[in-house]
Amino acid sequence: MNQYITGSTIKKLREQRNMTQLQLAEILRVSDKTISKWETAKGYPDITLLEPIADAFGISVPELISGHQIKNANVSANMMRSKFYICPVCGNVIHSMGETVILCHGIQLLPAEVEHTDEHHMIFIERVEDEYFVRIDHEMSKIHYVSFIAAVSSDRCQMVKLYPEGEAEARFKISGVRKIYFYCNRDGLFSQDVVKGGRRHEKWL
C-alpha cells in the first residue's frame, strides 16, 4: 500500500463530525494526547487501529487511507451510471454502479474516463435475433489490444473479457441494452449508445 492515513485527514474527519479529541480517544481507547500527536504529525496510528478509526467516522478503511470520502449520489443503483476501474498492473477490471474507493496492487484506482469512439476505435453493432453482435475494428496484438467489451442496460451489465491475439468481438443478449463500452489498453475506455430496435452495422455509430 503506497498511502497511509495522515493526521490532517483524522482532524478533518473529526471536525466534520463535531467530535472532540477526547471523544475520539474514548471511542478508540487511547488518550487524547495520542490523538493530538496524530493530528500534529508527531506520530501515526498503529495499523491495527485503522478499522476502529474508520468505524468511528462511519467510513471504509480505503476511504480513510485515501482521505477521500465517497458520497454516492447513485442511490437507486442505476446501471447507466456504471463506472469501470482498470488496474494498470494486472489488468483487473472492476465494475461499479457509482463512486467507490478501490485499491489493487497497492494503487488507488480512479474510474476510467469515457470517450466517444473515433476513427482509431471503430465499432460495429449488428442485431442478430435476440442478440447484439459487437465487433471492434482494432488490432489484438500482445502490446495493443481491447481487453473487454461490456453491454449496459438500466438493470444489468454484461461483460466479455478479451485477450491478445484473440478476436475483438462479443455477443450480448439485447435485454434493454442502451450502451456499449470497450477498453483499449493504450487509449482507455470508449462508449457508444445503441439505437433501440434497429439493426446497425456501421463504423460511426
C-alpha cell at 150: 461490456
Q: Give the confidence band of 70 by pLDDT, cuts at 50, 70, 90.
A: low
66 or 92, greater pLDDT: 92
More confident residue, 205 or 108: 108
**Predicted pLDDT of residue 18:** 93
> Who wins on pLDDT, 3 or 119?
119
Please compute the mean of the pLDDT values over residues 35-52 and round it to a whole number.
87
Fold (CATH) for 114-193: Immunoglobulin-like (2.60.40)
Mean pLDDT of 190-204: 62
| Cβ neighbours for 16, distance < 8 A, ≥ 6 positions apart | none
Residue 77 is predicted with a pLDDT of 56
Domain boundaries, the chain: 7-66, 79-109, 114-193
| Class of 7-66 in CATH | mainly alpha
What pLDDT is recorded for position 196? 52
With b meaning 16 or more CB within 10 Å and e meaning fewer, what string describes 123-153?
Answer: bebebeeebbebbbebebeeeebbbbbbbbb
Average pLDDT over residues 39-68: 83
Cell representation of residue 49: 487501529
Model pLDDT, residue 159: 96
**So what's the pLDDT on residue 198?**
39
Looking at the predicted structure, is the pLDDT value of residue 205 above 60?
no
126-184: pLDDT as tens digits: 999 999 999 999 999 999 999 999 999 988 899 999 999 999 999 999 988 999 999 99
Cα–Cα distance for residue pair 200/25, rounded to 1 Å: 63
Q: For residues 28-52, give the mean pLDDT.
A: 88
Q: Are 21 and 32 in contact (CB under 8 A)?
A: yes
What pLDDT, on the 0 to 100 scale, is given for residue 1? Answer: 38
